Chain A
Amino acid sequence: MQWCFSQVKGAIDDDVAEADIISTVEFNHTGELLATGDKGGRVVIFQQETENKNPPQFRSEYNVYSTFQSHEPEFDYLKSLEIEEKINKIRWLPQKNAAQFLLSTNDKTIKLWKISERDKRPEGYNLKEEDGRYKDPNSITKLQVPVLIPMDLMVEASPRRVFANAHTYHINSISVNSDNETYLSADDLRINLWNLEITDRSFNIVDIKPANMEELTEVITAAEFHPHQCNTFVYSSSKGTIRMCDMRASALCDRHTKLFEEPEDPSNRSFFSEIISSISDVKFSHNGRYMMTRDYLSVKIWDLNMESRPVETYQVHEYLRSKLCSLYENDCIFDKFECCWNGDDSVVMTGSYNNFFRMFERGHRRDVTLEASRENSKPLQVLKPRKVCAGGKRKKDEISVDSLDFNKKILHTAWHPQDNIIAVATTNNLYIFQDKVI
């Protein structure tokens, strides 16, 4: 499979405004819409052009569909805490009618947004002028029926629900249930279950806060509902374990149904073992049989029926193992990389440093490293596989570990649910690549 550049969105200049840093990327269920959230609390939605005016090898492009300010900075006066407006996660709801709905969350508050189109407007009101001013009643001499006339397409985003005040700690995940009625939100220590219609209360389904905070040993890092079983969800921890819970078992799912944990390799033990084993993302496969976890150096694929160890492990950037000390110094070791599946669960993808991202073809045991950069951004330019030289003699076209730019990191990636189109977020740019159609 070869990948080609398709588009890049975002500012070109190197001076990155902090508010423009992309913090989440998500395709909707059809892949027609692509949403991004940034540190400034904004959501930008791109839409794929439906009319295929282009020759077959050109896939339709994504253009800006809607932009809105989802979250604003807040200040919790009671706790003297500033609440960042950064969008941590966006999750689309399956489409039920003409409008689109998505959930977006910052550290404390989740919002349900309705994105709807308006391409007609009413004209010919009896009591109002065109600009909205009320007519003088005495000037009305006849009765008319208002009609809807076409207008330029307007996309409106309106907050339909605000789910607030349910999380003491920072929200790291939201996940919509397959029942389309409920969703979960997870913070460092608790997971809450919400009904999409009810904002003033939620059920707490997981609580790992110890009675004495000094005994705290692990936190929740990610959580997700099973794609088909509405009673099942998983949550990952900073200790590298994943717990699967069944909501039918009890109201409070503190006791897991399954515990997925791989014993640590004692030969790899270091000061930073706990940090690099912390799971930063967990994603079910589309078919619901597997789940994928991302820790600092690897991607692991677990069979839901086997808890003792993953069925597949892919090293993302093993050459960084000897650099953990400097990565700790510059805080990069705390970076939380996400991962994603392709539509048929045959390939997984995750990001790395130097604007590299990696794909692992499961069946063929092949992997490739590609780069998202402006230099490779000519239309339909095929991406050349990159290679990092861990040590020894550096071959031509290889990059040595020491010349990697650790400020250029790809934390967020997304794969179109059906086609081979991927969205890769660098610091403040969104790259869209597609596979080469022969």
Chain B
Amino acid sequence: MKIHNSRTQRGGIKLHKNLLVSYVLRNARQVYIKEKYAEIYRMQQYEEVMTVCNEIQELNPLDLDAEDAEEERAACCGEDFQRGKEQEPAYYRSCCMEAPSPCDQLSVNINTHCNTTTVLDLDTHVVTTVDNGYIHQDCCCDTFQCAPSAQSSAKKRKMDFSYCTSDFDELQDFTTTRKRLRREDCLYSCQEFTETSNISTLISIFGSGFSGLLSRQADLEQICSKQALAGLGAWTRAIVAF
């Protein structure tokens, strides 16, 4: 709302104020994602640890009595929960941190069917789409550079899944794997958030509002922003339209 109003204020858009507002939005988003992720993680962790502990018990039905098994289960739960709390989900990953000079091809690969989650990273402006278990990561400015690494990250993820299901003995590795997966998992949880919360992107703030202040990059940014936001909810379209 503040960003929208600033476009109609006398004197033009105030860069400083809009930047500060975007920080508030980012902070709110971070908190929301953390909490959402923590909740999902807690649920998942309980299920998985229970599964693992049961499997352990199955493997060593004679060595461990019921009490030890319970303790180990509790230890697993506690340890991983602890790790979950401490670990900062590093969801600001970018496949193209350095934005190149204006790109020729501005196609942005975003799918918006019902089982797709699209997240736009405020800092790096990487659009990440999680579509039926596959991740596509695109940068608004350069699709080509992103594609190969997106592919590799998708492949990596698949591999991780298979890795963890095939190896029961090495709990340590399992949790490490879970940590790697966690980074991508958090993106899944954003689906409701992007649809319902009041996110706005730096692209939409600056791209569509700063026409004339920027150099010729402004046009490209505007196109980028409009396309990038095409995949998001109708409310973001409303901001871009203004």
List residues of A whose CB falls within 8 A of some B CB. Answer: 76, 78-84, 86, 107, 168-170, 188-189, 211-219, 221, 238, 270-275, 278, 328, 331, 334
Question: Residue B24 contacts which of A215, A216, A328 (CB distance < 8 angstroms)?
Answer: A328
15 contacts across the A-B interface (CB closer than 8 A): A79-B211, A80-B212, A81-B12, A82-B10, A86-B11, A107-B11, A188-B16, A213-B210, A214-B206, A214-B221, A271-B27, A271-B28, A272-B24, A278-B16, A278-B20
Q: Give chain A residues whose Cβ lies under 8 Å from the Cβ of B10.
A: 82, 84
Secondary structure dominating the interface of A: loop
Q: Give chain B residues whose Cβ lies under 8 Å from the Cβ of A82.
A: 10-12
Question: Residue A214 contacts which of B2, B12, B203 (CB distance < 8 angstroms)?
Answer: B203
Residue of chain B at shortest CB distance from A189: B15
Q: Give chain B residues whose Cβ lies under 8 Å from the Cβ of A76.
A: 212
Give the distance to chain B from A173, nearest Cβ to Cβ, in Å: 12
CA distance A189 to B214 in the complex (A): 12
**B16 & A214 in contact (Cβ 8 Å cutoff):** no
Q: Give chain A residues whose Cβ lies under 8 Å from the Cβ of B24.
A: 271-272, 274-275, 328
Residue of chain A at shortest CB distance from B27: A271
If A214-B206, A238-B19, A278-B20 touch, whether A79 touches B11 (CB-CB below 8 Å) is: no
Q: Give chain B residues whose Cβ lies under 8 Å from the Cβ of A83.
A: 11-12
**B11 & A169 in contact (Cβ 8 Å cutoff):** no
**Any chain A CB within 8 A of the CB of B197?**
no
**B212 & A275 in contact (Cβ 8 Å cutoff):** no
Chain B 108-143 per-residue mask, 1 if CB under 8 angstroms from chain A, else 0:
000000000000000001000000000000000100
Question: Can you name 8 extra interface pairs (CB under 8 A) apart from A76-B212, A274-B27?
Answer: A79-B213, A81-B11, A81-B12, A82-B10, A86-B11, A107-B12, A168-B213, A271-B28
Q: Give chain A residues whose Cβ lies under 8 Å from the Cβ of B14.
A: 170
**B214 & A213 in contact (Cβ 8 Å cutoff):** yes
**Any chain A CB within 8 A of the CB of B190?**
no
**Any chain A CB within 8 A of the CB of B17?**
yes
How many chain B residues touch A (Cβ–Cβ < 8 Å)? 29
**Any chain A CB within 8 A of the CB of B23?**
yes
Give the distance to chain B from A199, nearest Cβ to Cβ, in Å: 23
Q: Give chain B residues whose Cβ lies under 8 Å from the Cβ of A216.
A: 15, 19, 202, 206
Question: Residue A170 contacts which of B2, B15, B20 (CB distance < 8 angstroms)?
Answer: B15
**Any chain A CB within 8 A of the CB of B99?**
yes
Residue of chain A at shortest CB distance from B5: A331
Q: Which of B10-41 contact A (CB under 8 A)?
A: 10-12, 14-17, 19-20, 23-24, 27-28, 31
**B20 & A238 in contact (Cβ 8 Å cutoff):** yes
**A219 & B19 in contact (Cβ 8 Å cutoff):** yes
**A238 & B16 in contact (Cβ 8 Å cutoff):** yes
**Any chain A CB within 8 A of the CB of B217?**
yes
Question: Residue A79 contacts which of B16, B125, B212, B221 (CB distance < 8 angstroms)?
Answer: B212
Q: Give chain A residues whose Cβ lies under 8 Å from the Cβ of B141.
A: 212
Give the distance to chain A from B136, nearest Cβ to Cβ, in Å: 20
Chain B 207-229 per-residue mask, 1 if CB under 8 angstroms from chain A, else 0:
10011111001000100000000
- Kindly name the residue among A76, A219, A270, A272 whose own CB sees the greatest number of chain B CB atoms within 10 A: A219
Give the distance to chain B from A375, nearest Cβ to Cβ, in Å: 33
Q: Give chain B residues whose Cβ lies under 8 Å from the Cβ of A86.
A: 11
Q: Give chain A residues whose Cβ lies under 8 Å from the Cβ of B28.
A: 271
**Chain A to chain B: the 10 pairs with minimum beta-carbon distance, closest first:** A79-B212, A84-B11, A274-B23, A212-B99, A81-B12, A271-B27, A275-B20, A188-B15, A219-B16, A214-B202
